[in-house]
Structure 1
């Protein structure tokens, strides 16, 4: 549905407020519009998780605690309201259709192209500059953001960092069993991970085989549940 700008903003805020599993999709349009400050304010205010498109990466930093990139498929399948800003529902986003997306998902699409909005009926469409629209959404939710934070931050989130090879070092002592998969990971692990007990390291083997790490991790968790 195509709405006037003010009407669209109000409806978007209402729809997001009612969402149980909201998602903000950050596209390259936000990068082109230099809207990084506005979109970061939106995510930080609401506590909504976000998914960047390939050229939308960096608008929200990967070090932020709310990206869903690592759980993309699960996020799309469970999302009930998606705010898509500066991104197109093309093949990169599976055209917004099941089975990747829930069949009941409601989209709020913000795009500078009215033609793109018309293609996406009956979803809520807002035609406008993505930076301006994001700023308007921020103003619309300003009065209710404390309530919003209470809903979305019901449980305390622990800070997260990108999953790099040295991420385990930031957690202090290594896990009871260390699993290394891939040649580079094994090489780095041998040099920097301290182990003081036997039979606590599982390597990928002579060929540095990829793909066996997950099985090893499950086995380690079963053997050393604590």
Structure 2
């Protein structure tokens, strides 16, 4: 029996789909998964994807980064840099992907999973969706890209509130704050996304790419080391190691 790949992609009728799939782990992302995402997105575009849907298997979007690997990344600056730049590299690859990206939100989107959702162009949720950025409790300072994207979406005041308190937002809160563009019943989620992707597929690829580049603004003005620098420093400060160990215990 062939094991299911923890991150995989397909293209059918011009629609790309990326699936995060770690059964029993709420699709928590390993370093390998973070590193695979940029290449996978490029492959889907090269194979004709006019837009890409990012989704999670097993009833969840993603619980975020695998905490065992978070803890391992606190053990040296080299490991912290490799891990944090893998995360930020995946996020910026989603944001700068030349075709529209859609986060299909069902169940939990927490930590790195929430960051992936923020990096996408559109977020369509069902009413089971829960969104959380529990970074402060773990000792993590977000990367510059994530903070700018969050502040752009919800406003700087609400961004500070969400990051400082790690408040969990339900689907209605996600819609109210602007994190979700639409919320629908679980049984309607796929049909709504199918209608949306069908529309995007028939729009001008040149126009869609141009609009995306315009919308990015200053979010990607820095390279990976500078974008990820605050996150790396937090990994070396000691609190992330203690926080990850506490969660694991």
TM-score (ref. length: structure 1): 0.31
**Higher helix residue share:** 2
Larger radius of gyration: 1
